[in-house]
């Protein structure tokens, strides 16, 4: 973390939250992440394979690796802004993008029917060029953190939430929490609404960073279209939405801690799941 950035608050230390010990016994981690919560919502059995049994995935989708690479490249740009350095050009950003592919066995990567590594690299270059030429490449206000760790207690009886904030900025009256996304097309208002829960939880933990300021959530969306577009969707946090999200997380954790693991077949989710063989072998 840059020395000039704010330190995000640890609202409740791990040692004082009894639910953290339950999480550690179940998963080996004394916290819960948004990724874990959303995985359970998608398929409770997939959650068990990944977080309880610790099974390695049999395959990984090219879309996931691609998104991670774009994410890393955009973060490198903002890290340069935070550090007061010259922003990297597209060639340097492509190095960050390509690094996301290195840990994966090429034979285990599932490509789409019309995709190749070469075609995805070309698309990445176009998307990152579009980003550098967009207003989003310039920061309104001040960068406080990039890939900043955040942790704290959300609700009694639920383990600490641990996560990383892609980009944290502030202007004269607002603290803005940004999540970086890639998408096949432009986002609708419904997509923005449906995707906001993670940032609402982070806003709940980050509320003590800039007392007196409004908190806003922002999605920075880079489209994977023929002519890539960079979208910005910013919303002020509404307390009612935070309360509803917290209630949902509490119910998910109750199901997890009670061991309610079962398959949730879905045409879209199962096709790219890395646990297809493990799922077929599961006997209940």
Considering the chain, tell me which residue range(s) the CATH 3.90.320.10 domain(s) occupy: 143-252
Q: Are 158 and 19 in contact (CB under 8 A)?
A: yes
Listed in sequence order, the residues at least 6 apart from 148 whose beta carbon sits closer than 8 Å to its beta carbon are: 1, 5, 8, 164, 165, 168
Q: What token pair was written down for 140?
A: 């309104």
Please tell me the class of the 143-252 domain. alpha beta
Q: What is the pLDDT of residues 154-185, one digit of tens each?
A: 999 999 999 999 999 998 889 999 999 999 99
Q: Pick from 230, 233, 218, 231: which is nearest to 127 by CA?
A: 230
Does position 210 have pLDDT exceeding 90, yes or no?
A: no
Bridge partners, residue 232, by sequence: 220
Q: What is the pLDDT of residues 110-169, one digit of tens each?
A: 999 999 999 999 999 999 999 999 999 999 899 999 999 999 999 999 999 999 999 999
Q: Are 223 and 231 in contact (CB under 8 A)?
A: yes
Strand 60-61 with 109-110, pairing: parallel
Q: Are 160 and 17 in contact (CB under 8 A)?
A: yes
Q: What is the pLDDT of residues 43-58, one digit of tens each?
A: 999 999 999 999 999 9
pLDDT above 70 coverage of the chain, percent? 95
Average pLDDT for 100-109 = 96
Sign of CA dihedral 249, 215, 68, 267: positive
Q: Are 163 and 150 in contact (CB under 8 A)?
A: yes
Identify the pLDDT of residue 9: 47
Does position 12 have pLDDT exceeding 90, yes or no?
A: no
Identify the pLDDT of residue 140: 85
């Amino acid at each position: 973390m840059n020395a000039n950035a704010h330190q995000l608050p640890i609202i409740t230390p791990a040692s004082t939250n009894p639910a953290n010990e339950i999480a550690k016994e179940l998963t080996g981690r004394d916290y819960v992440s948004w990724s874990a919560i959303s995985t359970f919502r998608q398929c409770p059995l997939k959650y068990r394979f990944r977080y309880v049994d610790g099974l390695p995935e049999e395959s990984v989708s090219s879309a996931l690796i691609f998104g991670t690479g774009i994410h890393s490249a955009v973060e490198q740009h903002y890290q340069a802004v935070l550090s007061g350095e010259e922003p990297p050009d597209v060639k340097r950003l492509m190095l960050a993008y390509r690094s996301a592919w290195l840990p994966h066995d090429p034979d285990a990567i599932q490509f789409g029917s019309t995709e190749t590594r070469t075609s995805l690299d070309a698309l990445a270059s176009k998307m990152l060029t579009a980003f550098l030429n967009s207003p989003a490449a310039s920061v309104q206000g001040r960068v406080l953190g990039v890939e900043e760790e955040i942790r704290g207690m959300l609700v009694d009886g639920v383990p600490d939430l641990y996560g990383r904030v892609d980009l944290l900025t502030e202007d004269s009256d607002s603290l803005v929490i940004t999540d970086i996304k890639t998408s096949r097309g432009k986002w609708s208002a419904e997509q923005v609404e449906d995707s906001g829960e993670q940032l609402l939880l982070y806003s709940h933990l980050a509320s003590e960073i800039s007392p007196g300021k409004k908190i806003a959530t922002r999605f920075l969306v880079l489209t994977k279209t023929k002519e890539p577009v960079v979208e910005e969707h910013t919303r002020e946090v509404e307390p009612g939405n935070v309360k509803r999200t917290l209630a949902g997380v509490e119910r998910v954790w109750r199901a997890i801690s009670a061991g309610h693991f079962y398959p949730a077949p879905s045409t879209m989710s199962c096709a790219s799941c890395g646990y297809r063989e493990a799922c077929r072998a599961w006997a209940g």
